[in-house]
Amino acid sequence: MKGRFFRPALCRLAAAAVAVAVAATACTTAPEQEPRAAPGPERPTGPKVSITPEEGSAAVAPDTPVRVSVEEGAITDVQVEQTTPEGDAEGGADQAAAEDGGGKGFRFTGTLSEDGTAWVSDWNMFPGAAVTVRATAEDEEGERTEAVAEFATEEAPPGQRLELASNFPNSGDTVGVGMPVIVNFDLPVLNKAQVENSMVVTSEQGVEGAWNWVTDKTAVFRPEEYWEPHQKIGVDLRLAGVEASEGVYGVENHSLDFEVGRELVATMHVPDHEMEVEVDGEAVRTIPVSNGEASERFNTTTSGTHLTMTRYESLVMDAATLGIPEDSPDYYKLDVDWAVRTSNSGEFVHAAPWNDRIGSADVSNGCTNMSVEDARWFYETVLMGDVLETTGTDRQLEWDNGWGFYQRSWEEWLSHSATGEPQVTDGSGTPGSVHGEGL
């Protein structure tokens, strides 16, 4: 901290001059005068700035918040620079935001109190990083003080480094209005609330949404209702420094951007043997279909809100993948074309030229059979994340079967979020803290 003080040498000189004056009066007959006290050091001026973690700290937990506080003034600037083990440098800009991101355009933002006396980081630090924090404050007289603290964060050794394994959708994808954000990690996540608060979803038209966990390695974000069509969505995965479980830290940040296209919703009441397809609210096609014959549970088409998943121009459908052995009378193995997956329990929309009951009876193994022409049109028209609403059967789609996430009501979905609060996608951030128990 910089302040203004008398130099010690000047203080000693002043004290010597007073001693000489006292000695002189002892040798004269002049009237006695009370000796004057030597002037003390001038009190420092300017704000008093404190930074935590403190200067020289080592092995600081990466999820420790960086804090700056000031007395007798207000914070005017905070810069946080991190140098990672790979040599990447991240720097800072102003009291409310500082660059980090390793060249990915992220910002190491912080929140400044209303009175300007306290600043706390919004995000965690990189593991194994050399960190420099520079903070400047100013008082009402314009006196400025700058404080600097340098410290190092704890490393994340091999086997304790949380990384992104995969995600859906990918950057650049155009998707349907039902599309969730699916994030798969390479290690289990136990501190789910901290990780949820590290993943920020923004959309041009802000809505409420929330994360749920299919497993300890898979998190899913969906809005309360379907996305509004024709808008861009961004996801910032601020995983660097988040403690996923004891001693396991995220090591890198990621971002993805995708676009919601037109609104396609297909509806199908199974006993009617047809599918109605609407695009942006207008009916575009009525398709004759044949669904599961429903003699057993496995060949009953599920009712509920399905989302279209992966697509295959051609596909071998082997019942063995569903646990049906080859020696079972229910076993089948078929080559199909123009297949669109709608669940993980073997349901597809696909062409079935062998089925002469399309449009009149349900005789499939649970899939939705169409003519070759209609199946190809469906394959070429749908996007990942389009909606298929199915009714009329006694088998309900499970919420975690494929992308059946809208099978949970919004209230139920929100209650299963680790934060218990919605995340609004208007850029206002996440509902809670990313930090651990740190300072």
- φ and ψ at residue 119, rounded to 5 degrees: -135, 135
Structural domains in the chain (count):
2
Would you state the structure tokens that stand for residue 226, as one six-digit string? Answer: 């379907």
Give the least confident one: 83-97, 114-128, 399-413: 83-97
178 in a structural domain: yes
Own/partner pairs, 312-315, CB within 8 angstroms, 24+ separation: 312/339, 312/340, 312/341, 313/337, 313/338, 313/379, 314/339, 315/339, 315/348, 315/350
Report residue 276 CA to chain centroid gap: 36
Catalytic hit among 27, 367, 416, 435: 367
34 in a structural domain: no
Reply yes or no on whether the pLDDT at 286 is more than 50.
yes
Residue burial 34-50, b: 16+ Cβ < 10 Å; e: rest: eeeeeeeeeeeebbbbe
pLDDT band at 325 (very low <50, low <70, confident <90, very high): confident
pLDDT digits (tens, 9 = 90+) for 328-373: 877 778 889 999 999 999 999 999 999 999 999 999 999 999 999 9
- Tell me: do 145 and 283 sit in the same domain: no
42 in a structural domain: no
- Tell me: do 81 and 61 sit in the same domain: yes
pLDDT digits (tens, 9 = 90+) for 218-238: 999 999 999 999 999 999 999
Segment 176-180 shows an average pLDDT of: 98
Give the C-alpha distances (Å, rounded to integers) separating 22 from 8, 27, 30, 32. 22, 10, 12, 10
350 among known catalytic residues: yes
For residue 25, the model assigns a pLDDT of 33
pLDDT digits (tens, 9 = 90+) for 7-36: 333 333 233 332 333 233 333 344 455 555
C-alpha to C-alpha distance for 166 and 219, rounded to whole angstroms: 11
14 in a structural domain: no
86 in a structural domain: yes
For residue 226, the model assigns a pLDDT of 98
- Tell me: do 173 and 292 sit in the same domain: yes
- Tell me: do 109 and 198 sit in the same domain: no
For residue 13, the model assigns a pLDDT of 28
Catalytic hit among 254, 273, 306, 350: 350
- Tell me: do 262 and 182 sit in the same domain: yes
Reply yes or no on whether the pLDDT at 311 is more than 80.
yes
196 in a structural domain: yes
pLDDT digits (tens, 9 = 90+) for 156-173: 999 999 999 999 999 999
Closest CA to 118 of 163, 154, 71, 84: 71
Give the end of a domain, one of 152, 170, 199: 152
Residue 103 is classified by DSSP as G
Domain with 88, as residue range(s), is 48-152
Q: What is the CATH number of the domain that holds 105?
A: 2.60.40.3780
Element at 71 (helix H, strand E) = strand 67-71
Give the end of a domain, one of 152, 180, 200: 152
332 in a structural domain: yes
- Tell me: do 193 and 124 sit in the same domain: no
Closest CA to 2 of 162, 146, 193: 146
pTM assigned to the model: 0.84
- Tell me: do 187 and 219 sit in the same domain: yes
For residue 232, the model assigns a pLDDT of 98
Closest CA to 207 of 260, 262, 255: 260
C-alpha to C-alpha distance for 221 and 138, rounded to whole angstroms: 43
> What beta strand segments (E) does 153-298 contain?
161-162, 164-168, 174-175, 181-185, 199-203, 208-215, 218-223, 231-237, 243-245, 248-250, 254-260, 264-269, 274-279, 282-288
C-alpha to C-alpha distance for 70 and 233, rounded to whole angstroms: 38
pLDDT band at 2 (very low <50, low <70, confident <90, very high): very low
C-alpha to C-alpha distance for 184 and 168, rounded to whole angstroms: 9
pLDDT digits (tens, 9 = 90+) for 383-392: 999 999 999 9
For residue 88, the model assigns a pLDDT of 54
For residue 344, the model assigns a pLDDT of 95
Cβ atoms 306, 296 nearer than 8 A: no
- Tell me: do 276 and 340 sit in the same domain: yes
28 in a structural domain: no
Give the end of a domain, one of 116, 133, 152: 152
Segment 52-67 shows an average pLDDT of: 97
- Tell me: do 324 and 405 sit in the same domain: yes
Reply yes or no on whether the pLDDT at 87 is more than 70.
no
